[in-house]
Amino acid sequence: MNTVTLQGQWLAEEALAKYTSWRVGGPAERMYIPADKQDLTQFISGLARTEQVFWLGLGSNLLVRDGGIAGTVVNTRGKLKQMYLLEANHVYVESGVPCAHVARFCAEHGLVGAEFLAGIPGTMGGAIKMNAGAFGGETWQLIAGIDTISVGGELVQHASNEFIVAYRHVEGLHNDCVLSAVLRLKQGNSQAGQQKIKQLLLQRAETQPTNLPTCGSVFKNPEQDYAARLIDASGLKGYAIGGAQVSQKHANFIVNTGEATAQDIEQLINYVQQIVDEQQGVKLQTEVCIVGEASA
C-alpha cells in the first residue's frame, strides 16, 4: 500500500480501552486515524480487499474483548466532523459528529425533530449503522440519504429507501463505512427545541448512570416491554461479576465500577440473559456490539 500521500496517523498494538466508553478492550493490531474524509478515502482505496477492517467512532455501543481486534481499526473519533445547513430544512453531517452536537445544531437553527439525538452517546456514523434511538426517536426517521465507502474503496451515494430499517437494525450496509448523511427535518421554534434538549438531558441524568463507564443500553427492548423492567423483576439490579455491575440506577445499564475486564462484562451479559430467560421467559437480545478475540 502506498502511504506517501496519507496525512493520518498509524498506530500499532494500540490499546482500545481508552477509545471505548466502557474503558475495556484489548489492542488493535493496527489503527489508522484519518486526517479527514479525503484522507480516509485514499487510505481505504489503498488497502488490500482481503484486509480485515473495523470502523470505530466514539466506542459507546461497543464491547471489545480483552484479546483485541485483528487487522486494521479505522478510528474516526474527532474526525469527519463537518456539519452545515443545506436548502429546504436539510442538514449535511459527517459520520464523526457526535449525535448530541447534531441535536444542538438543529435546534439552534430552528429545525426540529432531532432533539432525541442528545440522548445518544455516540457519533452519527454509529447511530446510522444500528438505527440508534432514544426518548422514542430513531435515527433513520431523519435520514434522507447517506454516502458510504466500501472496504474496496468504492464511494456510493444512497437514498434512505435502499435499506431495510428496523428497531436497532439496518440491513444492507454490510461492512461499508458511513461517511456522511443528509438529514431531513422540519421548521420549528428554536427556543422550544433547545428547551426540549435540556429537559431530555436532565431526564437522562436522573435515570441513567452517566457518572460511570457504560456502553449505553445493553439489551434491546422486547416488543411491548422493557429490558430494564425484566432485569429488575429478576432481582438483578446491583448484581456484579468482577468489576462489572448491573446498574442500581437503570437495570439495562452495566457499569464498570473501576477494575472490570471485557470478560467480566460479557459474562455478566450472559448471566443476565440466562436469569431473565429462566424467570421471565424472555430471551433478551443484545443492543451492544461485541467484537474481538477473547484473551488467551
The DSSP line for 210-229 is: TTS---S--BPPPTTS-HHH
Beta bridge partners of 123: 98
N- to C-terminal Cα separation, the chain: 31
One-letter amino acid identity for 292? G
Per-residue pLDDT, 296: 55
Q: Is the pLDDT of residue 23 over 50?
A: yes
CATH of domain 227-291: 3.90.78.10
The angle formed by the CA atoms of residues 215, 201 and 90, to the nearest 5 degrees, is 90
Tell me the catalytic residues. 168, 217, 287
- Banded pLDDT at 62 (limits 50, 70, 90): very high
Burial 240-270 (b: 16+ CB within 10 A, else e): ebebbbbbeebbbbbbbeeebbbbbbbebbe
> What per-residue confidence (pLDDT) applies to 48?
84
CA distances to 28, 32, 39, 45 from 35, in Å: 19, 10, 6, 15
Q: Compute the mean pLDDT over every residue in the chain, rounded to the nearest whole number.
A: 92
Q: Which residues fall within 8 angstroms of residue 159, CB to CB, at 6 or more apart?
A: 144, 145
Arithmetic mean of pLDDT, 201-209? 91
Query: Is residue 9 pLDDT above 60, yes or no?
Result: yes
Instruction: Among 3.30.43.10, 3.90.1150.10, 3.90.76.10, 3.30.565.10, name the CATH number for the domain at 9-75.
Output: 3.30.43.10
Interstrand relation of 155-159 and 164-166 (parallel, antiparallel or unpaired): unpaired
Please list the residue range(s) of the chain that carry CATH number 3.90.78.10: 227-291
Share of the chain above pLDDT 70, in %: 98
**Half-sphere exposure of residue 5, counting CA atoms within 13 Å on the CB side?**
11
Cell output for 117: 439525538
Please state the rounded mean pLDDT for residues 191-220: 92
- Phi, psi torsion values for 244, nearest 5 degrees: -100, 135
pLDDT band at 2 (very low <50, low <70, confident <90, very high): very low
Q: pLDDT (tens digit, 9 = 90+) per residue, 80-125?
A: 999 999 988 999 999 999 999 999 999 999 999 999 999 998 899 9
What distance in Å separates the CA atoms of residue 282 and residue 54, rounded to the nearest whole number? 31
Give this prediction's pTM: 0.88
Q: What is the pLDDT of residues 237-282, one digit of tens each?
A: 999 999 999 999 999 999 999 999 999 999 999 999 999 999 999 9
pLDDT tens digits, one per residue of 131-180? 999 888 999 999 999 999 887 788 899 999 999 999 989 998 887 889 99
Instruction: Inform me whether the pLDDT recorded for 4 exceeds 80.
Output: no
**Which of 63-67, 251-255, 291-295 has the least mean pLDDT?**
291-295
CATH of domain 83-207: 3.30.465.10
Kindly report, as residue ranges, where domains of CATH 3.30.465.10 are found in the chain: 83-207
pLDDT in the model for residue 146 = 97
| CB atoms near residue 106 (< 10 Å) | 29
Spatial distance between the Cα atoms of 295 and 68, rounded to a whole number of angstroms: 8
Delimiting residues of CATH 3.30.43.10 domain(s) in the chain: 9-75
